[in-house]
Amino acid sequence: MKAILVHTPGGPEQLRLDDIAVPTPAAGQALVKIYKSGVNFIDIYFRSGLYKAEPPFSIGMEGAGVVEAVGEGVTDVAVGDRVAYAMQRGSYAEYAVVPSWQLVKMPDGLDYAQGAAAMLQGMTAHYLTHSTWPLKPGDTCLVHAAAGGAGLLIVQMAKMRGATVIGTTSTAAKAEKAREAGADHMILYTEADFAVEARKLTAGRGVDVVYDSVGASTFEQSLDSLRPRGLMVSFGNASGPVPPVAPLTLNNKGSLFLTRPTLAHHCANRDELLWRAGDVLGWVDDGKLKLHIEKTYALSDAAQAQIDLASRKTTGKLLLDTIT
């Protein structure tokens, strides 16, 4: 089978299309024929070496396809099931073995592109808005990269929960995408200090929570956007990892709270996974949650997909077509 492997961490050129054997599912695993794979920043973090893996290693954390075989003891899925998943590295490939408990059956109305586009970023948006800071009417959140794949979903879920959404992005075209998703206010961080603007929009109070996937370049201003005892949610490193923070900084800026969450800790068992994925896929199926899939690349063009994602010039979701 064809699969993208990283033999030496580094730049996009380290993504190599190799021929490897089709894996065999062990006990508790299923073999999935992958039709579509999601492209996410976490893939770049592994490829670059920011997140560690022993080379040569597979890449890609999200896919959708059909179960072709199951290992001993598997009861969660059966051969022929149409499934989607996240949190298991190896989706940049024609086949992947996945722990069966992580596989979610897709509604009949969804295609593989929708399944692959919804899982990782959709469940991330779900835990951020439903668990990390459970938004409610009267809350105001600041969403960075509001026109990105995760950002558009966070905006929509925040509005479902009755919150006011302030988004940031780099261009007027991207701002319009976020407004279409429901953002109440948009700030072009290329033209204005978003912390200053966020305080103006909240009559000087500051926002209740910041959802920040950008990292190093926005961290300090994000803290400055918060109200006293507000929550800073740093959940990505698009501009690089955040440097160490002195606890006294949080005190001086208003007894702030800081968290660095990850999806795996919010889908720690099958019940929680089925809750979050069930909500996300169900909302997509009934039209309540809109996906924006910007582009689908061939598996052999995975490097270009990551270059385009890292450029932050795209909006919505990027996918790989893994049928070669």
Q: How would you classify the pairing of strands 140-143 and 164-169? A: parallel
H or E segment to which residue 223 belongs: helix 219-224
286: burial class by Cβ within 10 Å (0-12, 13-18, 19+)? exposed
Rounded CA-CA distance 303/59 in Å is 12
pTM, to two decimals: 0.94
Q: What is the pLDDT along the chain (324 residues), one digit of tens a residue?
A: 999 999 999 999 999 999 999 999 999 999 999 999 999 999 999 999 999 999 999 999 999 999 999 999 999 999 999 999 999 999 999 999 999 999 999 999 999 999 999 999 999 999 999 999 999 999 999 999 999 999 999 999 999 999 999 999 999 999 999 999 999 999 999 899 999 999 999 999 999 999 999 999 999 999 999 999 999 999 998 888 999 999 999 999 999 999 999 999 999 999 999 999 999 999 999 999 999 999 999 999 999 999 999 987 788 899 999 987
CB contact at 8 A, 306 and 43 = yes
Whether 2-120+267-321 and 136-260 share one fold: the answer is no
Three-state DSSP state, 276:
helix
Domain 136-260: CATH architecture, name and number where available:
3-Layer(aba) Sandwich (3.40)
Spans of all domains in the chain: 2-120+267-321, 136-260
Rounded CA-CA distance 232/260 in Å is 9
Q: Which fold has domain 2-120+267-321?
A: Quinone Oxidoreductase; Chain A, domain 1 (3.90.180)
Rounded CA-CA distance 90/65 in Å is 13
Rounded CA-CA distance 212/268 in Å is 22
Three-state DSSP state, 158:
helix
